[in-house]
């Protein structure tokens, strides 16, 4: 069986869908569903079990002989979460426990890292997973730091040749958009936030630039479709000799103004954009540019081209956001 933590979440539910489409019939999801519509992210899936996070380790111990791979996608992913102790318990301590469990039981282990580990980008966006390279990065929030802390621990364990899973990989996701992100509230992609205003013929709102090198709306991100993220993860899963830390992006940064124009264009409308000040509490920790270096994954053998912004956002808008059933 394959266990996916955070499996009712955005990226993980798309991964679960892709695994099921490939014929996997022993999928186990670990997540809290809450009292909203998050369950709909799994509404079309066949599952062998759905377990709460507090029962995960007991479940793994009970089914140790049956678990072939663990995708650890669950995390507190809010970049504005103020309870750093909670973030560390969820994003670092649990991840380390699962690493150790997989190492002890010979289970393949894949986990979600984040582009937030790169901080302001002054050290670049090279997914060099060596201890020395990772030590140079300075995340800007507790979420990014918690992911970075685990990346660094893994790098040190591997360097010391201490027990490791038979295959492992960490994925540094950049700005992901796509179906099943609707439960994320203010953490939804900018595509999903712009869409209802564009559909209503209203102007969308983007942050004004507070940096002399960037025009309003000219802030740059590596926007990547969730289907491309899943394809990259499954490539690594299928390549049992591939281990390491990998960027998951397109390798091409685009502006927020471009993104807004594509959303409006997919609806046959002219873009309408209003600019508002970036909140003071975010301004000093704001990234003005992210762009994944993708050479490492390409060198490992992944050769599928990423969807362009026009292709990916256009498909998302027309096939999901504008559909009566927006769930994958």
* DSSP codes of every residue in 55-72: GHHHHHHHTTTT--EEEE
Q: What is the pLDDT of residue 90?
A: 87
Judge if pTM exceeds 0.75: yes
What's the CA gap between 303 and 291, in Å, rounded? 18
| 79 pLDDT above the threshold of 70 | no
The sign of the dihedral angle between the CA atoms of 17, 20, 25, 27 is negative
Q: Are 133 and 247 in contact (CB under 8 A)?
A: no
Q: What percent of the chain has pLDDT over 90?
A: 91
* CA-atom Rg of the chain in angstroms: 19
Angle at Cα 96 formed by Cα 34 and Cα 89, nearest 5°? 45
Q: What is the pLDDT of residue 14?
A: 98
What's the CA gap between 4 and 30, in Å, rounded? 6
Mean pLDDT across the chain: 96
Task: Please enumerate in sequence order all residues whose Cβ is within 8 A of that of 6, keeping only pairs 6 or more positions apart, or say none.
Answer: 12, 30, 31, 72, 73, 74, 75, 112
Query: H-helix or E-strand containing 151?
Result: helix 142-159
Q: What is the pLDDT of residue 85?
A: 85
Q: Looking at residues 249-262, what average pLDDT do you find?
A: 98
Domains annotated on the chain, with CATH: 2-175+223-249+294-306 (3.40.50.720), 177-221+253-291+312-321 (3.90.25.10)
What's the CA gap between 140 and 80, in Å, rounded? 10
The pair phi, psi for residue 222, each rounded to 5°, is: -90, 90
At residue 150, the 3 state secondary structure works out as helix
Q: Looking at residues 161-189, what average pLDDT do you find?
A: 97
Which residues are the active-site residues?
A: 143, 184
Task: Please enumerate in sequence order all residues whose Cβ is within 8 A of that of 169, keeping only pairs 6 or more positions apart, or say none.
Answer: 110, 111, 236, 242, 243, 244, 245, 246
Q: Looking at residues 88-106, what average pLDDT do you find?
A: 95
* DSSP codes of every residue in 234-276: HHHHH-TT--EEEEES-S--EEHHHHHHHHHHHTT----EEEE
What's the CA gap between 169 and 238, in Å, rounded? 12
Tokens of 115: 């582009």
Q: What is the pLDDT of residue 286?
A: 85
| 55 pLDDT above the threshold of 90 | yes
């Amino acid at each position: 069986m394959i266990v996916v933590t955070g499996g009712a979440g955005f990226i993980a539910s798309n991964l679960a869908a892709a695994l099921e489409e490939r014929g996997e019939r022993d999928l186990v999801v670990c997540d809290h569903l809450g009292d909203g519509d998050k369950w709909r992210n799994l509404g079309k899936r066949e599952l062998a079990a759905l377990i709460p996070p507090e029962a995960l380790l007991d479940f793994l111990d009970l089914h140790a002989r049956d678990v072939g791979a663990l995708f650890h996608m669950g995390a507190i992913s809010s970049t504005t979460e103020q309870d750093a102790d909670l973030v560390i318990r969820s994003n670092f301590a649990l991840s380390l426990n699962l690493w150790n469990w997989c190492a002890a039981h010979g289970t393949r282990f894949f986990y979600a890292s984040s582009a937030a580990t790169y901080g302001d980008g002054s050290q670049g966006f090279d997914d060099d997973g060596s201890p020395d390279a990772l030590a140079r990065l300075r995340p800007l929030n507790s979420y990014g730091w918690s992911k970075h802390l685990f990346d660094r621990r893994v790098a040190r364990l591997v360097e010391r040749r201490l027990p490791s899973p038979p295959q492992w990989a960490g994925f540094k996701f950049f700005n992901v958009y796509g179906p099943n992100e609707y439960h994320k509230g203010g953490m939804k992609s900018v595509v999903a936030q712009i869409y209802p205003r564009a559909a209503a013929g209203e102007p969308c709102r983007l942050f004004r630039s507070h940096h002399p090198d960037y025009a309003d709306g000219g802030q740059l991100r590596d926007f990547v479709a969730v289907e491309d993220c899943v394809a990259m993860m499954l490539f690594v899963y299928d390549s049992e000799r591939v281990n390491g830390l990998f960027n998951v992006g397109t390798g091409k940064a685009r502006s927020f103004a471009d993104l807004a124009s594509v959303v409006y264009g997919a609806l046959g409308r002219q873009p309408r954009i209003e600019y508002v000040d970036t909140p003071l509490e975010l301004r000093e920790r704001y990234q003005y540019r992210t762009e994944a270096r993708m050479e490492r994954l390409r060198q490992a053998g992944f050769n599928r081209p990423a969807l362009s912004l026009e292709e990916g956002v256009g498909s998302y808008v027309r096939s999901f956001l504008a559909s009566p059933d927006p769930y994958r």
